Amino acid sequence: MTLRFYDTASAEVRDFVPLEPGKASVYYCGATVQGMPHVGHVRSAIAFDQLTRWLEFRGLRVTVVRNVTDIDDKILAKSERSFGPDWDAEPTAKQDEEWWALAYRYELEFEQAYETLGVQRPTYEPRATGHIPEMHALIQRLIDRGHAYPALDDSGDVYFDVRSWSKYGSLTRQNVDDMQGAADADPRGKRDPRDFALWKGFKEGEPETASWASPWGAGRPGWHLECSAMVTKYLGKRFDIHGGGLDLRFPHHENEMAQSQAAGDDFANFWMHNGLVTYEGEKMSKSIGNTISPAEMLDVASPRVVRYYLGQAHYRSVLDYRPTSLQEAAAAVERIDGFIAKASAKVQHDMGGPSAYAVAPQANMPAAFAAAMDDDLNVPQALGVLHETVRAGNTALAAGDLEAAKQALYSVNAMTSVLGLDAVKRPEAVQGREHAALEVLVEAQLEARAAARAAKDWAASDAIRDTLAAAGIVVEDGPDGATWSLKRG
C-alpha cells in the first residue's frame, strides 16, 4: 500500500510518507464567517473529510485542524447590516449587531451545514481571535529576521517584505515583479506595493472591540497571519498536509507559506487544493444569477444525495453543476440504497447473519476501490467500483446466491462508510428487527400476489400491489419473481 497525493508546491503526485509514523496532521482553511455557507465552502469540507476518512482507514491517527476566521475586513463591514433568514441572503437594512455576534451567528450556520452533510468535526477548530499572542510572537520573529517592518506612515500597520524572501511566489510559480499590489492596506506605508499586512493598525470609525494592544499599536491581525499562527500552535512547525480551495492558492496560501518559512518553520510537507464549483461551465456569480447554495440543494434533494453529488468528482477537478445534477446523483444513491435495503433483509432474515453495519470495513474493502483511493484520492474511479459491486450484488440476489449477495453487501457498506455517505442520516431506512419483520409481512403479500397471478386473478394481484404502493413499498417484477424496496422520499 502506497498513498500518493498531488502536491501543489512541487506540481507532482508524490508518495505520502507521514512525518511521524502512524500519524497524520492535516490543516485545511475553514470559513471567514461573514455570511451563509456557499457551495464552495461545503465542497472543500467534504473533500478533506474524504481525505481524513481514507487516512484513518489506512490505519493513521489523524489530527485535523480547521480554522474559523472570525475577525476580518468583510466581517466588520457587514456587522451593521441585517441579513434575511436564507442561506444566501443579501443585506437588506441597517441594524445594530456587533461584529463578533454576526461572526458567531454565521459560525453556527457553518457547523449546521457541515453536520447535515456528514462532515466530521475536526480535532481542533480554533478561532483567530483566540490566538492574538501567537500572532504577535510570529510578527516579532519576522521583524527580527529582517522579513517584516512597521509601516512607514506610523499607521500602526506591520508588513511582510516580499522582496526579502527569495522564494516568494514559489507555491504558485509567479515572479514577484509580475504580481499586482496587495490590496489589504493603503500602499503609502509600504516599501513595495506587493508587501502584505501582518498587522492592521486601528483606524477611526472601527469598533474598539475589534482591536488589540500590540507592540506596534492597537489593531488586529492580517488574514494570512492568522492561519500561520494557528496551524503551528496545534500541529507544530512542520506538519503533513495543508489544504483548501483552489482559489486560496494566491494570495492566501502563498503568503502563509512565505511568512512561515521566512520565520524559520518548515511548514507543510504537502499542499492540497480542491477544485471549484461552476454552473453549466461558467463561474458562479450573484450578479448574473447563476448560483446554487447548499440550502437550495437541500430543498430539492436529501443530505445523502447532496453529499454524494458534492463528493463524486476528483477533488482537484472542477465540479460543474447543471439543473439535472442532483437528479442524477439521486438516481445513483437510489441504486446503492435499494441494493442495501434488499440485501440487508435477505442476509438478516434468510441467513441469520450479522448486521452488515457490524462488519469491519478492512475485511471487505475491494482491492480496486482501495487502489483508486490510494492514487491521489481518485473518488470517481472508486465510485465505479462501488456501482459495479452493487450490480454484482443485485445479480446475486436475482440468482438466489445469498452468500455472494452478502459479500457484496458488506463490501458496499465498507465503501460507503469511508466515503462518508453513511455519516448522513437516512431517516427512511429501516434496519434490524423492524426490517426483518417488515420483510416477512411484505413477502407474505408477494406470495399471495403470485398465487393470484397464477390463477389469472388480475384484480386481486393489482389490489395487493396498490396496497403495498400506498404503504411506500415499490414492487418490481422480474424473470425470477417479484422483488421489493422502500420508496425513497
- What residue numbers does the annotated binding site for Zn(2+) cover? 29, 227, 252, 256
H and E: helices and strands count for the chain: 15, 17
Rounded CA separation 439/468 (Å):
12
Q: Which residues are annotated as a binding site for ATP?
A: 286
Cell representation of residue 270:
504537502
Q: Which residues are within 8 A (CB) of 138 and not within 5 positions of it... i.e. 6 or more apart?
A: 198, 225, 228, 229, 232, 259, 263
Rounded CA separation 200/215 (Å):
12
Q: Is 249 exposed, middle or buried (0-12, 13-18, 19+ CB in 10 A)?
A: middle
Rounded CA separation 302/157 (Å):
48
The amino acid that residue 104 corresponds to is: Y
Per the CB < 8 A criterion, the answer to whether 428 and 486 are in contact is: yes
Rounded CA separation 477/122 (Å):
47
Helix (H, G, I), strand (E, B) or coil at 194: coil
- CA dihedral (110, 256, 171, 141) in degrees, to 10, reads -170
The amino acid that residue 320 corresponds to is: D
Q: Which residues are annotated as a binding site?
A: 29, 227, 252, 256, 286
The H-assigned helical ranges of 301-351 are: 303-311, 325-350
Cell representation of residue 140:
516579532
